[in-house]
Chain A
Amino acid sequence: MATIFEKILEEQNKEVPRVHGILTTDKELLEKWFYLMVLGRALDDRAPNYLKQAIGWSYHAPYAGHDGIQLAIGQVFDKTTDHLYPYYRDMLTTLSAGLTAEEIILNGISKDNDVASGGRHMSNHFAKPEWNIHNFSSATGNQTLHATGTGRAMKKYNHKGVVFCSQGESSVSEGYVFEAINGASNEKVPVVFIFQDNGYGISVPKKDQTANRKVSDNFRGLKNISIIKCNGKDVFDSMNAMLEAKRIALHEQHPVIVHANCVRIHSHSNSDRHELYRDDYELNYVREYDPLAKYRRLLLRYKRFTEEELVAIEQRVKDTVKEAHKSAMASPDPKPESIHDFVIGPAYVSQKYPEGLHDGKGVEMKLIEAINQTLKAEFRHNPDTFLWGQDIANKDKGGIFNVSKGMQQEFGAERVFNAPIAEDFILGTANGMSRFNKNIRIVVEGAEFADYFWPAMEQLINTSHDYWRSKGQFSPNITVRLASGGYIGGGLYHSQNIEGALITIPGIRVVYPSFADDAAGLLRTSMRSEGLTMFLEPKALYNAPKAATLVPEDFEVPFGKARIRREGKDMSIITYGNTTHMCIEVANQVSSELGKEIEVLDLRSLSPLDHEAIVNTVKKTNKVLIVHEDKVIGGVGGEVAALISNEVFEYLDAPIMRVGSTFTPVGFNRILEKAILPNNEKILEAVKKMLNY
């Protein structure tokens, strides 16, 4: 049996089949490649002119020096079966994959009919979602997680295709790139990761990134992964490498890394000045290794083309570029009033429960049962549903709190499965998987506790942008479940509420039910909607009798609909989550002890907020206290208070007051926890102050 090192050596020495060569490749194909390469460089060289003339293209990362590998990526990509995740330097990649010169310029100068994003995203981020050439963020390397997710979808749906994902060599330093490749190797997904190695991350030489000169060597220890090295400056070597990579991914069904040696002929981008850190010797030799010049020399040297023939092609390119320029310049700009279009994918509209209220029929359930039952019902309702997370499925265990108990038994390991301890991966692959098919609805347990969701923030931010950035062409359809909040003696890392941070992000929804029926209704709506919903679960209430309710089998709660949990006229408390129950208890106590009636409004949705319900309760009682478990500072209450002052200030008979956590972490000792989190006592004190005002 070969040792792992022998296998590595064997693989290193394996030659890629030489499908293409200057002597053997069809002339027609050689011509097509030459045309694309000359066209790409004409656009690449011309891009700075747009900036000089103040037309646009204010971000331009020239690709010159990456010509071989970029041509090859685009040539092996098949838009009918494959997916492509380019990066910001991939102009020739996308041209070679089929974008037109005009489409490149439209993106460069940010026009309304730019197929990538209608001028919303930065220039030089070429994409065409319609063909699965995905619109990607500027965060270096973060598309790798999406690629693994799309690869997973291909596998689950038995789809015969390949995902291509490209990036520079320096961004491989990102932790999430490791997560993506580790996951790809473990799940054996058909993804080809391409590292375009030009030796620099802006001005940072690659020796400052990692110890191996070729960063692909860092992945040698992973199983199920082939690593192919090629000369990215050479058309034939790059074509052969990419063809072999595609063959392996498709037929051997496992990931491949293609490491392409390139040079960066120009500065990193128009905001960089490479002469500050590269000497003349280097600037000279990278120019001498211009891949296009090399290809041209080969075509002539081996008599595949005459000089006249090449000049004619070059002239054809000039004409094409002129036409494309004219037409792009005449295109409309995006309209300022369009900014509110496509912030988040459309929500499911409830016909039966438009206000998210029911008539009290149904089965009595605890909060945990309501979530579990709704997950199962929705999984039965929609076969394109998936659930994963840490600890989600092993025999009788179903999630850290057993919320997803019985799911894997009923729906199988293809739809319900464990994830590695890599929260960014959990969310990033959800994003990627939902790109495969619009019908897919994904539920992830984003982390074992909300406290551990922070590593996924990078993907959350990116995912929040997707719908807007693609001008409605791609909606990530994901429900992120998180066990949230304190009152369990959990300390700093098992008590956090993170909604204060979440509601600042446009492009996602945030809900936080406090009763079983609302949990069921909101979860159903989340799982039927487009867009990403953060579904925050007050874990202290999972099994609490006070959170148990009757739950109608088909209950639905629309987003942005608060619910009056107790009617009153003397003052209002606006709240959600754990504190809803405290507020109701305090209100009942005040009613019996003081004869005052407090209205308790449970927000249920934190983003979007129910403006109408908030305004109405203030108009009704003229006094409002906002209570939540999260910190007062930076909490949801600040937004609610601002909304009230803006819209109904003149109805207020007292200043708006707030009760919430102290501006500290949550301590572990119960004495500390009690001092930090809100409770009935603290709420009662505020209520009395307000009633007496």
Chain B
Amino acid sequence: MEKIALIYSYNTRNTANVAKEIVKAFGKSVVVEELNAEDIDGQKFSSYNNLILGVPTWFDGELPNYWDEFVPELETLDLKGKRIAIFGLGDQVNYPENFVDGIGLMVNICKKAGAEIVGYTDASGYTFESSAAFSGGKFCGLAIDIENQGDLNDERIESWVSQLKKEFR
């Protein structure tokens, strides 16, 4: 398998913790290179074919600034041939109308730029009203809810990573 870029903001607490768990779950056999989303640029982003993005949702359905400010550049990239998987943190109790919207927003942008999205997950086991990441019973990434379902993190991460091991090339 080609090396994987794992991009998330180093300034976060929750997202960074989940990222660390993901690295652990991949084990020694796969090269996972961590990059700070706070200073990502198109060139670095484009130098990988397997990418995992950590995209928590903020402010009732928005991308955090570090991603939002990269979007204008991201939209100009040609992501054909790239496989991108997205995990996102969200809180289904306090933000049920916009649960993990960030995953959906980012997926749309990457898809438009030509990327192939991998790492879809089953949305059962979550309770929410609407989500930009939800369609046909699935999330277009991995939804992690530390606030309300933290005890399911390990299991969800393990299973997602083993899925990605098959879906990445």
- Measured CB to CB, the residues of A under 8 A from B are 21-23, 197, 212-214, 217, 231, 233-234, 261, 263, 288-289, 294, 297-298, 301-302
Does B92 reach chain A (CB closer than 8 Å)? Answer: no
Decide yes or no whether B34 CB sits under 8 A from chain A.
Answer: no
* CB pair B59 A263 closer than 8 Å: yes
Q: Given the complex of chains A and B, what is the CA–CA distance between A634 and B66 in angstroms?
A: 64
- With known contacts A212-B97, A214-B97, A231–B65 Cβ distance under 8 A: no
Q: How far is the CA of A659 from the CA of B13 in the complex (A)?
A: 76
Residues of chain B having any CB pair with chain A under 8 Å = 59-60, 62, 65, 68-69, 72-73, 76, 95, 97-98
State in angstroms the CA–CA spacing of A550 and B73 once bound together. Answer: 82
Interface centre among A212, A289, A297 (most CB of B within 10 A): A289
User: Do B62 and A261 touch (CB < 8 A)?
Assistant: yes
Which A residues are in CB contact (< 8 Å) with B98? 213
Q: Contact: B59 with A289, CB < 8 Å? A: yes
Q: Check A294–B65 contact: CB distance below 8 A.
A: yes
Nearest-CB distance from B42 to chain A (Å)? 11
Contacts of A234 in B (CB 8 A): 68
Residues of A contacting B95 in the complex (Cβ-Cβ under 8 angstroms): 213
Our pick among B65, B73, B76, B97 for the contact of A289 (Cβ within 8 Å) is B65
Name the distance in Å between A289's Cβ and chain B's nearest Cβ.
6
- Can you list 30 residue pairs at the A/B interface with Cβ under 8 Å? A22-B72, A23-B72, A23-B76, A197-B60, A213-B60, A213-B95, A213-B97, A213-B98, A214-B60, A214-B97, A217-B97, A231-B59, A231-B62, A231-B68, A233-B59, A234-B68, A261-B59, A261-B60, A261-B62, A263-B59, A288-B65, A289-B59, A289-B65, A294-B69, A297-B69, A298-B69, A298-B72, A301-B69, A302-B72, A302-B73
Cα of A21 to Cα of B73 in the assembled complex, Å: 11
Residue of A nearest to B59 (CB): A261
Nearest A-chain residue to B96, judged by Cβ: A213
CA distance A170 to B67 in the complex (A): 29
A297 cross-chain contacts in B, Cβ below 8 A: 69
Question: Given A213-B95, A213-B97, are A21 and B62 neighbors across the interface (CB < 8 Å)?
Answer: no
Find out whether the CB atom of B68 lies under 8 angstroms from the CB atom of A21.
Answer: no
In the complex, what residues of B have CB within 8 A of residue A197's CB? 60
> CA–CA, A302 to B75, complex, Å?
13
Minimum-distance CB pairs A-B, first 9:
A22-B72, A261-B59, A213-B97, A23-B72, A213-B60, A231-B62, A294-B65, A261-B60, A298-B69
Which of B60, B68, B95 gathers most chain A CB within 10 Å?
A: B60
Q: Which residue of B lies closest to A22 (CB)?
A: B72
| Alpha-carbon distance A294/B97, docked complex (angstroms) | 26
B-side contacts of A21, CB under 8 Å: 72
CB distance from A61 to the nearest CB of B (A): 21
Closest chain B residue to A197, Cβ basis: B60
- Docked CA distance A21–B76 (Å): 13
Kindly state the separation between the CA atoms of A213 and B60 in the bound complex, as whole angstroms: 8
Residues in B neighbouring A288, C-beta threshold 8 A: 65
Q: List 12 extra interface pairs beyond A214-B97, A301-B69, CB under 8 A.
A: A21-B72, A22-B72, A23-B72, A213-B60, A213-B97, A213-B98, A217-B97, A261-B60, A263-B59, A288-B65, A289-B65, A297-B69
In the bound complex, how far is the Cα of B60 from the Cα of A302, in angstroms? Answer: 27
Task: State the Cβ distance, B64 to closest chain A Cβ, in Å.
Answer: 9
Q: How far is the CA of A22 from the CA of B98 in the complex (A)?
A: 26
Smallest distance from the beta carbon of A21 to chain B beta carbons, Å? 6
B65 surroundings in chain A (CB, below 8 A)? 288-289, 294
- Whole-angstrom CA separation of A23 from B70 in the bound complex: 12
Q: Nearest chain-A residue to B64 (Cβ)?
A: A289
**Bound form: Cα–Cα A666–B123 in Å:** 64
Q: How far is the CA of A298 from the CA of B69 in the complex (A)?
A: 7
Residues of A with C-beta under 8 A to B59: 231, 233, 261, 263, 289
How far, in angstroms, from A288 to B59 measured CA to CA in the complex?
A: 13
B58 to chain A, nearest CB (A): 8
Within 8 Å CB of B68, what residues of A? 231, 234
Q: In the docked arrangement, what's the CA distance between A217 and B98, Å?
A: 13
Chain A residue numbers with a CB within 8 Å of B97 are: 212-214, 217
Q: How far is the CB of A396 from chain B (nearest CB, A)?
A: 50
A229 to chain B, nearest CB (A): 8
In the bound complex, CA of A197 to CA of B97 (Å):
16
Chain A residues, Cβ within 8 Å of B60: 197, 213-214, 261
Residue of B nearest to A24 (CB): B72
- Closest approach, in angstroms, between the C-beta of B43 and any C-beta of chain A? 14
CA distance A297 to B73 in the complex (A): 14
A243 to B65, CA, bound (A): 23
Q: Which residues of B contact A294 (CB under 8 A)?
A: 65, 69
Q: How far is the CB of A435 from chain B (nearest CB, A)?
A: 34
CA distance A233 to B62 in the complex (A): 11
Chain A residue with the shortest CB-CB distance to B68: A234
Distance of A16 from chain B, by nearest CB (Å) = 14
**Interchain CA distance A297-B65 in the complex, whole Å:** 10
Among B59, B69, B95, the one with the most A-chain Cβ atoms within 10 Å of its Cβ is B59
Q: How far is the CA of A302 from the CA of B69 in the complex (A)?
A: 10
Question: Measured between alpha carbons, how far is A453 from B65 in the docked complex, in Å?
Answer: 50
Q: How far is the CA of A213 from the CA of B129 in the complex (A)?
A: 12
Q: For residue A302, which residues in chain B have a CB less than 8 angstroms away from its CB?
A: 72-73
Q: In whole angstroms, what is the CA distance A297 to B68 when docked?
A: 12
Closest to B65 in A: A294
Q: CA of A357 to CA of B64 in the docked complex: distance in angstroms?
A: 74
C-alpha gap A213/B57 in the complex (Å): 15
Q: Which residues of A contact B73 (CB under 8 A)?
A: 302
**How near does chain B come to A558, taking the closest CB pair, in angstroms?**
58
Q: Which residues of B contact A22 (CB under 8 A)?
A: 72
Tell me the nearest residue of chain B to A23, going by C-beta. B72
Give Cα A212 to B60, complex, Å.
11
Task: For the complex, give the distance between the alpha carbons of A234 and B67 in Å.
Answer: 13
* Nearest CB in chain A: distance from B146 CB, A: 14
Within 8 Å CB of A298, what residues of B? Answer: 69, 72
CA distance A289 to B11 in the complex (A): 14
Nearest residue (CB) in B for A13 is: B132
How many angstroms from the CA of A22 to the CA of B65 in the assembled complex?
A: 14
> In the complex, which residue of chain B has the Cβ closest to the Cβ of A301?
B69
CA distance in complex: A301, B69 (Å): 9
With the chains together, A197 CA to B72 CA distance in Å? 25
Min CB distance, B45 to chain A, in Å?
14
Instruction: Give A288 to B69 CA distance when docked, in angstroms.
Output: 13
